[in-house]
């Protein structure tokens, strides 16, 4: 697929952590932003957005391995040991093996991108991630021609993750993407936020970020990546397929069975902040809609 970027954001647009109270306005949509010299990114929307603060991003999120409350991850994730960290890459690849996080980083180009983040629970943020394109990692290990999907697995450490005692999901947490989704330039492996190492509660040391999908697709603290031929299991889809599809693309026209997806609540806007319309594919429609040509998006949710 031919993919052309429109450069609208640079590192100058990203709010410095130490000065977020004086943050400048960004052009909304901020489908992505890049540091100088990195691949320019797209911007689609009309309204003005700015990144959420470090405190909002790191203290309000879902990571059920550390508890189901929004503040549980920030309170409990300090238990997670992330050094050393090893990622097993296997399946239909030319160079399977157990790779240290340091070895992976040494081969990747890390850049900064500003992405919308939309939770399936109908709240949203704008996050300045640091990381690298998943496609670069997959190219490095060599994807074999028979591969059609990429499967991911989160660490499962009961002694460090108190939420694993809960039966809310079958553990470990797993997710998957179609190979063309995984290879898309917007799909990244995040290793940081605001130029700092990614906090443990946000998925340290390495998590997936797929900005046009609901947040639960962006699996955290990855310990295994497998290239496979058949559609892999995805935790929420397995647990409740009626409510959570494998694709989980942001779609304001298809409601969750228990709530509307037409609007969202921006975190940081206050308790009585006006809800804003949710954009198709979370504002990335021009970039990713062609991936789903011919698919009924009300059926393949």
Q: Does 202 show up as a binding residue in the annotation?
A: yes
Q: Does 292 show up as a binding residue in the annotation?
A: no
Q: Does 207 show up as a binding residue in the annotation?
A: yes
Q: Does 64 show up as a binding residue in the annotation?
A: yes
Write the CB contacts of 54 (distance below 8 Å, at least 6 apart in sequence): 17, 20, 193, 194
Q: Does 63 show up as a binding residue in the annotation?
A: no
SS3 236: helix
Q: Does 284 show up as a binding residue in the annotation?
A: no
Write the CB contacts of 199 (distance below 8 Å, at least 6 apart in sequence): 58, 74, 77, 193
Write the CB contacts of 132 (distance below 8 Å, at least 6 apart in sequence): 108, 109, 110, 111, 188, 189, 191
CA distances from 38 to 43, 109, 113, 138 (A): 16, 9, 10, 19
SS3 78: helix
Pairing verdict, β 263-266 and 123-133: parallel
Q: Does 225 show up as a binding residue in the annotation?
A: no
Rounded-to-integer distance, Cα 90 and Cα 34, Å: 30
- Backbone angle region of 122, left / alpha / beta, with phi > 0 → left and psi within -120 to 50 → alpha: left
Rounded-to-integer distance, Cα 44 and Cα 5, Å: 11
Q: Does 65 show up as a binding residue in the annotation?
A: yes
How many beta carbons lie within 10 A of that of residue 82, not counting itself?
15
Burial category of 176 from C-beta neighbours within 10 Å (exposed 0-12, middle 13-18, buried 19 and up): buried
How many beta carbons lie within 10 A of that of residue 225, not counting itself?
25
Q: Point out the annotated binding site for Mo-molybdopterin.
A: 61, 64-65, 119, 154, 202, 207, 218-220
Residue list, annotated binding site: 61, 64-65, 119, 154, 202, 207, 218-220
């Amino acid at each position: 697929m031919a993919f052309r970027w429109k450069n609208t954001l640079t590192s100058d647009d990203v709010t410095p952590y130490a000065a977020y109270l004086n943050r400048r306005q960004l052009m909304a949509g901020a489908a992505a932003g890049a540091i100088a010299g990195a691949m320019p990114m797209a911007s689609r929307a009309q309204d003005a957005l700015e990144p959420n603060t470090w405190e909002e991003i790191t203290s309000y999120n879902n990571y059920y391995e550390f508890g189901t409350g929004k503040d549980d991850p920030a309170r409990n994730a300090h238990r997670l040991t992330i050094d050393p960290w090893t990622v097993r890459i296997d399946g239909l690849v030319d160079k399977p093996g157990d790779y240290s996080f340091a070895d992976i980083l040494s081969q990747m180009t890390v850049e900064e991108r500003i992405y919308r983040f939309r939770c399936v629970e109908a709240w949203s943020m704008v996050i300045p991630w640091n990381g690298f394109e998943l496609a670069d990692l997959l190219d490095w290990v060599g994807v074999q021609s028979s591969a059609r999907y990429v499967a991911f697995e989160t660490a499962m450490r009961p002694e460090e993750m108190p939420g694993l005692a809960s039966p809310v999901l079958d553990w470990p947490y797993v997710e998957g993407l179609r190979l063309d989704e995984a290879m898309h330039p917007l799909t990244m492996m995040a290793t940081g936020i605001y130029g700092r190492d990614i906090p443990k509660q946000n998925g340290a040391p390495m998590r997936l970020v797929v900005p046009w999908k609901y947040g639960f697709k962006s699996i955290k603290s990855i310990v295994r990546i497998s290239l496979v031929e058949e559609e892999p299991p995805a935790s929420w889809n397995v647990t409740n397929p009626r409510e959570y599809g494998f694709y989980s693309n942001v779609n304001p026209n298809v409601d969750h069975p228990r709530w509307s997806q037409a609007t969202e609540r921006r975190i940081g806007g206050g308790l009585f902040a006006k809800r804003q319309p949710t954009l198709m594919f979370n504002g990335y429609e021009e970039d990713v809609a062609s991936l789903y040509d011919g698919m009924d998006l009300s059926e393949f949710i």
